[in-house]
Homo-oligomer: A and B are copies of this chain.
Amino acid sequence: MNLSQVKLLIELNRNQFNLSAASDALHIVQSAGTRQLKLLEEELNLALFERKGKRLTGFTETGLKILQQAEKMLLAQDNIYAIALDFHQPQSAHLKIACTHTQAKYFLPKKLVAFKRSHPKVKVHIEQGTPKQLVDWVKQGQVDLAISTEALDDCEQLTKIDCYSWHHVLVVPNHHHLIDGPLNLAAIADYPILTYMAGMTGQGKILQVFKDEGLTLEVDLYATDSDVIKDYVRLGFGVGIIAEMAIDSKLDKDLTVIDLTPWLSACTTKVGFLSNRYLPSFVHDFIELVTNPS
């Protein structure tokens, strides 16, 4: 067996079993690709691919198992190069974080200040997206880690560590009627609701709680962004349900914040990363930072 043969398997998988395309990806002529595949199948003495005449149509059952191991081999190889790179230019290192808007704006800043203090030369990238996107980016190795309340748990491959727990709060304009009357879910449901998009920042949990009470929420605005929600609350569109850390006690004096802990259970924000992938020490340092309270 050969590393180029292993790479060929990966590329065949990426290119819908097209030998020509896979060979191109490896910068060899197509006939060389055919030959290497043939050699590998001969060495293992089994068919890695289903064939329709000469064309490859997919992996065999055994081929699929072998592909999985092939991916592990190449990941480890990539890690070796990453380690070497890390050795040569620790200074020009890049920390790539994927997270949602709420984390980027309200959780990360103080963490990154601390991180920059201990690692002044590391460049930081913050990629924003939906929780599902974050997970994809981590899986594909585009980013080092993802910080999110959602979607991380759905992915088996990711190692997850808790960062912190928090609650949702209700935000209304000052002097809103809800402030005076007795508070309960039914009272809230009387107003148009502004909150997060599906799959973001614990939104599913919010809707579920109202549904369990037999209440239908009239959600008038779905946003990815806590600030957008707050602004439309200011404009009188309705009442907002957002994450508690999205409240800025100085800037949000025109809003009244109402505790929802009696009704909504806590959410836990986590950091997720691929434990198989080599991560430079500064990435581990950063994970340590975000998973330890303040």
Contact = CB atoms under 8 A, between A and B. Distances in A.
Contact of A66 (B44, B65, B69, B80): B80
How many copies of the chain does the oligomer comprise?
Answer: 2
B83 A69 contact: yes
Interface in A211-239: none
Contact of A80 (B44, B80, B87): B44
Interface of A is mostly: helix
A43 B162 CA distance: 39
Interface of A: 1-3, 44-46, 62, 65-66, 69-70, 72-73, 75-77, 79-81, 83-84, 87-88, 276, 278
A76 B87 contact: no
Nearest to A46: B87
Contacts of A62: 83-84, 87
A1 B80 contact: yes
B83 A65 contact: yes
Contacts of A69: 76-77, 79-80, 83, 278
7 contacts: A62-B83, A66-B80, A66-B83, A70-B80, A72-B73, A72-B76, A73-B73
Of A2, A3, A88, most buried by chain B (CB within 10 Å of CB) is A3
Task: Name, among A62, A75, A76, A81, the residue most crowded by chain B CB atoms within 10 Å (CB to CB).
Answer: A76
A276 B76 CA distance: 12
Given A46-B87, A69-B278, 17 more contacts: A1-B81, A2-B3, A3-B3, A44-B81, A44-B84, A45-B84, A46-B84, A66-B80, A69-B83, A70-B76, A72-B72, A72-B76, A72-B79, A73-B73, A73-B76, A73-B77, A76-B76
A80 B68 CA distance: 9
Nearest to A44: B84
